[in-house]
Amino acid sequence: MKKIPIALQLWSIRDDVAKDLGGALKEISKMGYQGVETAGLGNTSAADWTKMLADNNLKVAGAHVGIDLVEADTLQETIDTYAAIGCKRLVVPALPMEMRTTLDGYRRACSILNIAAGKCAEQGVELGYHNHAFEFEFVENRIPYFLMLDMLMSNIFLQFDFGWVYRGGADGAALTLSNPGRQNTVHIKAYQPDNDTAVVGEDSIPWKEVFEACETVGKTEWYIVEHERYANPPMVCVKQCIDNLRAMGK
């Protein structure tokens, strides 16, 4: 079985990125990360991004973009912006509060994503949705994430953030098995009920089952580490995450 490469969601080290993008990329490359997922491009030009990524032998696993950036009047600019750094995978990372309070709000979000997915597919771009825990909290007597699974087109991939999935009370491995072939990329994030700052591999997620699901039915192409709650400096935390993944054979 082909080994799945590991990327880092750059939001994890956002202050380091803002301070010195090139230095941050160099440091994570030395740790063993093979790619990045962006959280905006800041004030750095596409040409500079491309050069710094190439200089550090890093690929772009995807880009997190707000749902407003995939609406009809903004989608093409978004596609073009990220294509300029070699990115053909866009992920909507969350929904604004006004879409999260009613099921109709979730339906509107799904409609926007479905229309965008069709236009993305025409240009060879993948579109995905990244969950938090709030999608697993009841709204109007229904769990919104399951409404989304019913409504979203099958070519929209499901970027499970396993830390949030398990925090929301769902079973991430089972969810992967019941939605086969849609986990193009996934977020590898720790969840430990009594320790919000736990790093990957020192938490309570059943990673063996998660990895098996991703690698047998998920068609996962990237594992993307994300760490957001820190007991140590962010760079130390993301190194602990990848070191622990390597110790698990990833």
Q: Give long-range contacts, CB 8 A cutoff, 24+ apart: 231-239.
A: 231/197, 234/12, 234/13, 234/14, 234/15, 234/16, 235/13, 235/16, 235/24, 235/27, 235/28, 237/12, 237/199, 238/8, 238/12, 238/13, 238/28, 238/31, 238/33, 239/31
Q: What is the structure's pLDDT at 1?
A: 64
Q: What is the structure's pLDDT at 178?
A: 98
Q: d(Cα 70, Cα 112) in Å, to the nearest integer? A: 8
Mean pLDDT of 92-121: 98
Task: Give residue-wise pLDDT tens across range 129-187.
Answer: 999 999 999 999 999 999 999 999 999 999 999 999 999 999 999 999 999 999 999 99
Q: Which of 159, 149, 186, 8 is nearest to 92 (CA)?
A: 159
- On average, the pLDDT of the chain sits at 97
Q: What is the structure's pLDDT at 2?
A: 76
What is the SS3 assignment for 121?
Answer: helix
Q: Strand pairing partners for 185?
A: 222
List domains and CATH numbers for the chain.
6-18+37-226+234-247 (3.20.20.150)
What is the pairing mode between strands 6-9 and 35-38?
parallel
